[in-house]
Amino acid sequence: MINKDKKIKVVDIVAKPEKIQLLKSEEKTEIKKERESFFETNNQINQYKEEVAAEEENTKTEEVNFNDKKTEEDFLKDDGIKETLSIKTKIKKYFLIFVLLVILSGIGYSVVVVLPRVNIKITTKKTSWKITESVITSKNFGGIDTINKQIPASFFSEKKNISLSFPASGRKSVEKKSGGEIIIYNAYSSDAQTLIKGTRFAALDGKIFNLDSKIIVPGAKIEEGKVIPSLIKARVAAEKAGDEYNIGPIDKFFIPGFKGSAKYNGFYAKSESNMAGGFVGEEAYPTDEDIKSAKLKIAKSLEEILLTIILSQIPKDFKIIEEAKQFSIVKDDVGKKVDANGNFSAFLEGELSIIAFKEKDLFELIDNLANQFFGILKGEGEKLKFEAKERKLDYGAARADFTSGRLSFAFDYEGVYWQPIDVENFKKSIFSNRENELKTIIFSIPGIEKATVSFWPFWVKSVPDDVNKIKVAVE
């Protein structure tokens, strides 16, 4: 327990701030009254303000420190809190240390494993090569023959016909007779009746149509005393030219030659379709130039159609040069008659044949010739393969035999060649090598002109053991 003396001290300490506060108040009043009379300079005024401010600050501190009335129990509680706080502080301290270690471990891992990189830029030697040569390609070749300069080809062929109309530019005076078909009946007897070419058939209006050719009208049938007429169809033409003979179906034609006899009523005819074609005047006709032009146009159209069909069948990687195409006319027929619009028709049947080859086969043949020319051998006699980095190819004259499916052509070629590097194998071969060792490996590779190596970060001195951390650029 706390003794009485301590209690008296606590009371005295509590009372002190009131005295200080009172003195402060009195002093402030006195200072306010004497300020104007006793202080004349700015330095004095500033010194006085500093003293007052210091006194006020001390008063506030005393108020905070001495107005807190604590019992013995409170002090004991404070000690427990301090102990608890001490434990928490230690925990926080250890935790921070742990976190710091984790961070440092992460940084160390990044420095050792994640960050290291190496960039390698390799420039290879380039060799230019030109050649002018001829190649043979055929549907009968099974593969690439470098010695004989031969490559395989494919043969494509398509046949089709079309008919088109063209305007006739010629003009001439013509007279045309109308014509058509009639049905001739024999209701006269059971005997057949011969009608000669030119036999006249008259319509009720007096228009005469003549039989185109000789015919025999079959005899009628007699059944139970009744005559059953026989019939036959025949072609007739108008007696005169002109469109007035272009008439519709006629129910009955009579044969004027039988007039005055029983046959006149026993033989008759009718038409079920129009008589047409009668014309007198100027008519269009195709001139020789019209026919020639029509053949050219229809041939061009047919060739384009056939080319479209064949190209749809040929794979995209095939090459077709102009001389490897052949279009031929199998059959043509140009009509000299014109229709009502003054047009004539032209019929054409044609065939298109194409010899095509894969351009990659040609490039492979050229690359083989290039490597033969270079004649470079690697270490143990293994051929060192050169590849084209740039190409320029121009096709020359060609000659085709479409019967055998064979094509020969010339070409001019220019290429830039280099020795390729297997980048992935190269990456694996340089694992863990330091800079000097790495340079030795690089320049041991044939065909290297120069190379640059950069490690990152700056403290890295060897190649990482991870292909993903190795960047290689070859040019």
**What does 172-236 look like in DSSP terms, one character per residue?**
EEEEEEEEEEEEEEE-S-SS-EEE-TT-EEE-TTS-EEEESS-EEEPPPEEETTEEE-EEEEEEE
The CA-based dihedral angle spanning residues 210, 216, 221, 227, taken in that order and rounded to the nearest 10 degrees: 30
Chain-centre distance for alpha carbon 214: 71
Reading the block at residue 278, the tokens are 């009668």
Ramachandran angles phi, psi of 64, nearest 5°: -70, -40
Structural domain contains residue 341: yes
Average confidence (pLDDT) over 229-245: 96
Give the rounded percent of residues in the chain with a pLDDT score beyond 90.
54
- For residues 367 and 465, give the distance between their C-alpha atoms in angstroms, rounded to a whole number: 37
pLDDT at 238: 97
Segment 109-126 mean pLDDT: 74
- Please indicate, yes or no, if residue 411 is contained in any of the structural domains: no
CA torsion sign, 394 to 397 to 402 to 404? negative
Q: Which residue has the higher pLDDT, 36 or 470?
A: 470
Rounded average pLDDT over 403-419: 94
Strand partners, 325: 354
pLDDT at position 95: 66
Rounded mean pLDDT of 240-255? 95
> With contact defined as beta carbons under 8 Å apart, do 270 and 253 qualify?
yes
Find the helix packing angle between 42-66 and 4-38, rounded to 10°: 160
**301 and 375 Cβ atoms separated by less than 8 Å:** no
For the stretch 254-312, pLDDT in tens is: 999 999 999 999 999 999 999 999 999 998 999 999 999 999 999 999 999 999 999 99
The answer on 185 and 244 residing in a single domain is yes
| Final residue belonging to a domain, choices 263, 282, 301 | 282
The sheet with strand 387-401 has its strands ordered as 150-152, 127-138, 406-418, 387-401
pLDDT value of residue 151? 97
- What range defines the domain where residue 34 resides? 4-69
Residues 40-73 have pLDDT tens digits of 444 444 554 455 455 444 444 333 333 444 444 5
Report CA torsion sign: 10, 13, 19, 21.
negative
H-type alpha helices, 209-343: 263-266, 288-311
What is the total count of domains within the chain?
A: 3
Distance from C-alpha of 127 to C-alpha of 119, rounded to nearest angstrom: 26
Q: Is the pLDDT of residue 149 over 50?
A: yes
- Distance CA(408)–CA(149), nearest Å, equals 10
403, two tokens: 């019967």
Residue of higher predicted confidence among 452 and 362: 362
298 and 253 inside one domain: no
Same domain, 241 and 228: yes
Residue that finishes a domain, picked among 282, 303, 319: 282
Nearest to 345 by CA among 145, 178, 163: 163
Q: What is the pLDDT of residue 29?
A: 45
The structure's pTM equals 0.56
Q: Are residues 176 and 278 in the same domain?
A: yes
More confident residue, 340 or 175: 175
CA proximity to 237, closest of 183, 278, 282: 278
Query: Which pLDDT value is given to residue 396?
Result: 95
Q: Is the pLDDT of residue 175 over 60?
A: yes
Q: Are residues 215 and 342 in the same domain?
A: no
Alpha carbons within 13 A on the beta-carbon side of 314: 23
Classify the phi-psi angles of 280: left when phi > 0, otherwise alpha if psi is within -120 to 50, otherwise beta: beta
160 and 176 in a single domain? The answer is: no
Q: Does residue 268 lie in a domain region?
A: yes
Instruction: State mean pLDDT over 313-327.
Output: 94
Of 122, 192, 133, residue with least CA distance to 419: 122
Q: What is the mean pLDDT of residues 89-115?
A: 58
Residue 50, domain member (yes or no):
yes
- Give the residue from 226, 259, 282 where a domain finishes: 282
**Cα 68–57–19 angle (5° rounding)?**
60
Q: Are residues 176 and 265 in the same domain?
A: yes
pLDDT averaged over the chain? 81
